[in-house]
Every structure is written in structure tokens, then in C-alpha cells.
Amino acid sequence: MEPVAILDVRGRTGIRRPLYVSTTAIMPGYAGQAKTTRAYCRLAQIGENAQMTYRTPQPSKLSKESISHLAEKFSARVGYEAGCDLESLILKLGGKLEYQDFWELEESDSGSITVEPDNSFTVYLANHTSIARDRFTVAHELGHLVLHFLLPKATDPTGDWGLKASRFGTGITETEANQFAASFLMQEKQFREVHERFGCDIVETADYFGVSFSAASVRAAALGFE
């Protein structure tokens, strides 16, 4: 599957229109389905979105290398550079961040990210966590968005479903989202250069990429550094 096609799709969807969303705008190349979807959306408006469902993430079945490659392409596509602000990127992508106190997080069923069928999304963050940790969480949720929503949507463009990832998820989909996040925030080539430039100092490397010490350590170990 060609990731660029999906990323092209992603870049054009910064608008919030849950109904009357045009399939052709979201999925170029699926013009034949557009009518059906618009008709359905009208029905959905009448029926208050009664048929709308949220799915849980399903494994993308991509290799680690493919996920890293996809994350780096996505990062280039959306113009992300190491250490840059993620909140403005989320807004640019048609998403928003919402901060919740820990008791709200416990009670809420919003999960860690909710994606609507029109590609708009909300990432839920805890109020009490560090900026570096939040940045990794945001990148992890972008992993769910790309791997577990946009990818399957590319093969099922008419499905009127959204995605809800659990805050306490485990298993393959979480590993995939973490792999995506690490590659998105710390691109391999750049990480190798920066890590070497700082004499393998993890604190400085972590600071450069705006990630926690532990995220940078895990990345260094994954890339074969001692």
C-alpha cells in the first residue's frame, strides 16, 4: 500500500463537517462512492448518526521498518521538525487536544484518542503529566490515527465508522503506535547524528528531540547504541 496517497488525504481534511462530508474530498480515486456516502450522511443527520460506530484499533500488520518509514514520511508530509510544537500540528490536521484531570480520565470513556468518520479527532491528555511525556503520547495517538484509522479507511472508504483507542490498551496495536511515535519524534538518521554530536549524552539528545530521558534511551537502544 502506498502511504503517500493516504497522507495526501490526511492533509486536506482540516475542516470539521461531521455530516455531508464528501468522499471525493477525503478519498480521491473513490469518486464512485461519493454519492452513496452523501446520501447516507443525510440519512444519518435525520437519524442522529444512529448507525455510527467507533471501532477499536486493529493491528496494521506492517513490519517495524514499514511503520518507521510511514512515520517518517508522515512527519515530512506534515512539515514536522524535531522538537517542534505538536499542538499546532494537531490543529492543522483537523484535531484538538483536551486536557483532563486524572479523575475525569478514570471516569471518561473517551479513550486516549477519538477519531470521527470525517477524520476530525480529539486527543485526550492528563493534566498532571510532563510536557515530554505528553509529546510522546500525542505522537503515539497520531500513530493510531495513521495506522489504525487512515490505513483501513483507505481500503474501506465508505464505512461510516470512527476510532476509539483505549487509554490502557495493550498488545500489538500499542506497540505499533509506540514504534510510530518513536520514529516520528526521533527520525533514525537525525537521531544517529544528534546522539553522536552530543557524545552519546542521552539528556542532551532527549532535550533536542523534546522527549523524555526514557524515550530517548529506548530509541538509542533500539538503534543499537549501548
Q: Is residue 163 part of the contact set for Zn ion (CB under 5 A)?
A: no
Q: Is residue 169 part of the contact set for Zn ion (CB under 5 A)?
A: yes
Q: Shortest gap between Cβ of 147 and Zn ion (angstroms)?
A: 10
- Binding residues for Zn ion, total number by CB under 5 A: 4
Q: Which of 184, 112, 116 is closest to 150 using CA atoms?
A: 116
Q: Which is nearer to Zn ion, 143 or 157 (CB)?
A: 143
Q: Which is nearer to Zn ion, 33 or 110 (CB)?
A: 110
Q: Which is nearer to Zn ion, 67 or 177 (CB)?
A: 177
Q: Is residue 178 part of the contact set for Zn ion (CB under 5 A)?
A: no
Identity of the residue numbered 1: M
Q: Which is nearer to Zn ion, 4 or 172 (CB)?
A: 172
Spatial distance between the Cα atoms of 185 and 56, rounded to a whole number of angstroms:
24
Q: Is residue 177 part of the contact set for Zn ion (CB under 5 A)?
A: yes
Q: Which of 88, 219, 74 is closest to 144 using CA atoms?
A: 74
**Cβ atoms of residues 215 and 136 within 8 Å:** yes
Q: Is the dihedral of CA 152, 117, 95, 4 positive or negative?
A: positive
Residues from 64 through 103 that contact Zn ion (CB under 5 A): none
Spatial distance between the Cα atoms of 60 and 187, rounded to a whole number of angstroms:
21
The C-alpha angle with vertex 145 and arms to 107 and 78, in degrees rounded to 5, equals 130
3-class DSSP state of 55:
strand
Q: Is residue 105 part of the contact set for Zn ion (CB under 5 A)?
A: no
95-100 β-sheet, strand order: 53-55, 161-165, 113-115, 121-126, 95-100
- Stretch near Zn ion under the rule CB under 5 A, chosen from 22-30, 43-51, 157-165, 191-199: 157-165
Q: Which is nearer to Zn ion, 88 or 170 (CB)?
A: 170
Q: Which is nearer to Zn ion, 163 or 194 (CB)?
A: 163
Q: Shortest gap between Cβ of 177 and Zn ion (angstroms)?
A: 5
Q: Shortest gap between Cβ of 140 and Zn ion (angstroms)?
A: 6
Q: Which residues bind Zn ion (CB under 5 A)?
A: 165, 169, 174, 177
